[in-house]
Amino acid sequence: MLELNPARHETRGLLAGWREGLAILNLRGDGEQPAFRDAVARALGAPLPVQSCSFSGGATLRIVWVGPDDWFVIGPKGQQQALTDALRQALAGQLHALTDVSSGYTVLHLSGTPAREVLAQGCPLDLHPRVFAPGRSAGSHFFKASVWLWQLSDTPEYELLVRRSFMSYVWLMLERASSECGLITRRFA
């Protein structure tokens, strides 16, 4: 049974849910070029993260560093074309590659007190707050599924970019890993 801690207004269970239909683009380009960084920032309204294992953005848009010249741009549901158009216009004349990968990926949102411990059961990364804190991201795996994950807040609150073909497997493993704390399914926008 899930318990509610009235003093902190939080559940002791893991809150989890898929963020379906998000716009997910893969952007490639030279992040060392100021013109490239400026154009992306203008188009998206958020700075391009150039530090390894980081991300930028806010509640509706994330730019996740994947490599020195590689990022995932994750935006609101149904905004693939608008994001693509804005980036292509801003980057006109600059060497870049932009691919809509929305149909191949989805995002899993995890939050609540046990989130770090549940993730640690299937992810070999050191998720201790001194090492992996809000603003950090990394590629890894959750059990046998490759994922890219980032931490949103100290709650702790995480998001995982998952290939659609691994959705059922990731959810099954999440159910098993959260058996001690309980899993509360939520819908996330």
Give me the residue spans of the domains in the chain.
9-19+104-185, 23-103
Q: What per-residue confidence (pLDDT) applies to 12? A: 79
Name the pTM for this structure.
0.90
- Cβ–Cβ under 8 Å, residues 94 and 36: yes
Q: Strands of 10-121 (E only): list them.
A: 10-11, 14-19, 23-29, 55-57, 62-67, 70-75, 96-100, 105-111
- In angstroms, the CA 126 to CA 140 distance is 11
Residue 22: phi, psi to the nearest 5?
-65, 155
Of 12, 16, 13, nearest in space to 108 by CA: 16
What average pLDDT values come out for the chain (189 residues) when binned by 10 residues? 40 90 97 98 98 95 97 97 98 98 98 96 96 97 98 96 98 97 87
- 23-103 folds as Alpha-Beta Plaits (3.30.70)
Q: What per-residue confidence (pLDDT) applies to 11? A: 58
- 9-19+104-185 folds as Gyrase A; domain 2 (3.30.1360)
SS3 string of 101-136?
CHHHEEEEEEECCCHHHHHHHHCCCCCCCCCCCCCE
Residues 6+ apart with CB under 8 A from 14: 110, 111, 112, 114, 115, 118, 174, 178, 181, 182, 183, 184
Q: What per-residue confidence (pLDDT) applies to 167? A: 97
Q: What per-residue confidence (pLDDT) applies to 7? A: 40
